[in-house]
Structure 1
């Protein structure tokens, strides 16, 4: 069994997050960027909305009494809403106000000192649902751009309320598409899920958000968990203690 020796980035969401491990996905890109510094844990749950997601989240995120013996989740991304925005009557649909409340709850139980899941060292980034392209979804997309856009605005409102950064995936794609439905094709594989190019855009925007909002979590500011090969003591090889990781020299090892 592998030992838990690295702090982590926890990606929480639906199938768009789950597929982040596909070739060129944002989870794969993050894992490469934070190699030897932070583990990337993907907890994307295909088909989930925020109602089911909130129940799952309380099993996925460690309660505070267990946290001292576990690596710290240094960054948490919450990317839900593509399923909540299914039209009313669909099994996945969650009302707009309940959706906002669920996103607010997920973030605040990590932030609140009175919460059983309180984690003061965890930084949070929210992501909006991407645009939808009904003409591209061959199986019949039970979503409309107008309806989904409301949920996008809801995520941004929660971000303002909790003072959390938000990656506006909707605007990112829509502007790149020159505000035309047909312009979304390079970024959406089926009108809902992302292509490699779409994930690259999300990855770049997320890295820029980390740089702006949480600069201490940029890769260049984080030490390697194990020291570089030319800086280690061959007779005493082991991970840097978390309590003094910032004292470890952080740079890429020479070739």
Structure 2
């Protein structure tokens, strides 16, 4: 049975630049929107350079508690900026690990209060330190430091923290730092040492879909469980289209 546009569920992608860029060609957000096209609205709320502290100030505006139609799903994808070194040019964005966990708890608590049914905490991906240095030197030349502004193992601590908060709060999680490293040449998943390449975007998409396709989730997030927005073209009564497309009106 088809639904009307107003009935479509909403998926909101909330995060930093890795989310902001997710609607690029072959991006994980664009792929998700394509998968659920005409079934759910995938809404991009990515903010390049943001950390979890700044994200907490956006919650009331982006996810109002009094909303009559809260999102069915929200992905929360922060940590890459929080994990930056404050003494290597990332002082403004860095968030200490304990505060990072507290901020994630605040975000989850607010989303639950706003009646979001499903929340996925996505951890920052691994860091290719060599590629990050090369990219920094290409951008800033001699002004680039000799050490990367982010480090692989340090980011791993933030990934573990995100997964820990997910377990603690009873929400879903996707530990990209661990998952991407299951492939020996995981560096191919990054295009500048930090952001996702084509392969990385598709790997995130595939792993996220695995979570959404879990048959135990209630309400279901499986693609096949969502009705089409309005009937398919071959189901329309062409002799009386109003009957199919405006069923609530008298014909």
| TM alignment of 1:155-194, pairs within 5 A | 155-176=162-183, 178=184, 183-194=185-196
- Please tell me the root mean square deviation across aligned C-alpha atoms, in Å: 2.0
Residue in 2 aligned with 1:22?
Answer: 24
Residue 109 (1) aligns with residue 110 (2): yes
Residue in 1 aligned with 2:157?
Answer: 150
Q: 2:7 & 2:226 partners in 1: Cα distance? A: 15
Q: 2:160 & 2:7 partners in 1: Cα distance? A: 38
Contact 2:82 2:94 in 1 (8 A): yes
Q: 1:231 & 1:72 partners in 2: Cα distance? A: 31
Contact 1:87 1:147 in 2 (8 A): no
**CA displacement at 1:218 relative to structure 2:** 1.0
**CA displacement at 1:235 relative to structure 2:** 1.7
**CA displacement at 1:92 relative to structure 2:** 0.7
Residue in 2 aligned with 1:6?
Answer: 8
Q: Secondary structure at the match of 2:242?
A: coil
Contact 1:131 1:149 in 2 (8 A): yes
Contact 1:227 1:240 in 2 (8 A): no
2:72 pairs with one of 32, 54, 74: 74
Q: 2:95 & 2:247 partners in 1: Cα distance? A: 45
In the TM superposition, what whole-angstrom CA distance separates every residue of 1:14-57 from its partner, at most 9, and x where no partner exists? 00000001111011101110010101101010000001111123
From the superposition, tell whether residues 170 and 199 of structure 1 become closer, same or farther in structure 2 (CA, over 3 Å). same
Contact 1:21 1:27 in 2 (8 A): yes
Residue in 1 aligned with 2:204?
Answer: 202
From the superposition, tell whether residues 76 and 239 of structure 1 become closer, same or farther in structure 2 (CA, over 3 Å). farther
Residue in 2 aligned with 1:87?
Answer: 85
**Which deviates more from structure 2 when the two are superposed, residues 53-62 or residues 7-16?**
53-62
Residue in 1 aligned with 2:217?
Answer: 214
**CA displacement at 1:104 relative to structure 2:** 1.0
Residue 123 (1) aligns with residue 132 (2): no
* Structure with bigger RCO (C-alpha 8 Å, 6+ apart): 2
**Which deviates more from structure 2 when the two are superposed, residues 48-57 or residues 230-239?**
230-239
Q: 1:101 & 1:192 partners in 2: Cα distance? A: 24
Aligned length: 224
Q: Rg larger in 1 or in 2?
A: 2
Any stretches of 5+ residues in structure 1 without a counterpart? Answer: 242-255
From the superposition, tell whether residues 23 and 97 of structure 1 become closer, same or farther in structure 2 (CA, over 3 Å). same
From the superposition, tell whether residues 94 and 238 of structure 1 become closer, same or farther in structure 2 (CA, over 3 Å). farther
Q: 1:214 & 1:196 partners in 2: Cα distance? A: 29
**CA displacement at 1:142 relative to structure 2:** 0.6
Q: Secondary structure at the match of 2:230?
A: coil
Residue in 2 aligned with 1:251?
Answer: none
